[in-house]
Amino acid sequence: MPDLENYSVFLGLGSNENGDCSAISIAHHDYSPLAPLISKTFWEKYLKQFSNFRYYQNRNKTIIKLNQKYRSYWKNGYKFKDSKTDNNHDGLINRLVDAAFIEKGMVVVTPEVSRQIHIGVYGINTKGKIIPGNDFNERLQNLKRIIADNKLNEYTKSTILSFNGFSPQLESWNGILFIKQ
């Protein structure tokens, strides 16, 4: 079992919605951009250098360099080869999570049951319809109700993931976590 102290990201996205809500596991280097907690070590060594305007101006060039740097790992540990897809911020972080795993053995930690839900309604991957309401507060209240009733699929047409909502198991969770072997 890898050392839990040597992690790159602690995810909020669960791996088994029917699992034990107290269990966390090591996902090695499978990253999801939904509700990540990024370790300070990972931030400073891998991510901070790209947190600037220069990266966003040269995104494709940066991704090509990373992909070539880890070319020898394409079959073992580095998931990306194409610079034209997944080259936005979460694609960059996913590649850096791979790099941290390859270079330092840093792992991704994930709960079995999700602690987050993606509520994106508008964007490239979510072609949503307007949240009903006459003003911001009314729309906010309606969005809260839509989330609570697990009706997000009626308002989005996401190409990324389905909106399963929160597991009912979390209502009775005692707050204790353990590492599942």
**For residue range 101-154, what is the model confidence (pLDDT) as tens digits?**
999 999 998 888 888 776 665 555 566 667 788 898 998 898 888 877 777 767
Band (pLDDT 50/70/90 cuts) for residue 5 is: confident
| pLDDT mean across residues, the chain | 80
More confident residue, 83 or 25: 25
Distance from C-alpha of 82 to C-alpha of 84, rounded to nearest angstrom = 6
Closest CA to 34 of 13, 20, 55: 13
- What is residue 1's predicted lDDT score, i.e. its pLDDT? 42
- What is residue 39's predicted lDDT score, i.e. its pLDDT? 93
More confident residue, 15 or 42: 42
pLDDT digits (tens, 9 = 90+) for 80-106: 877 766 667 788 898 999 999 999 999
Instruction: For residues 33-50, give the mean pLDDT.
Output: 90
Is the CB of residue 97 less than 8 Å from the CB of residue 38? Answer: no
Classify residue 31 by burial, with Cβ atoms within 10 Å: 0-12, 13-18, 19+: buried
Structure tokens at 2: 């890898």
**How far lies 65's CA from each of 15, 55, 87, 96, in Å?**
31, 12, 12, 12
Band (pLDDT 50/70/90 cuts) for residue 47 is: very high
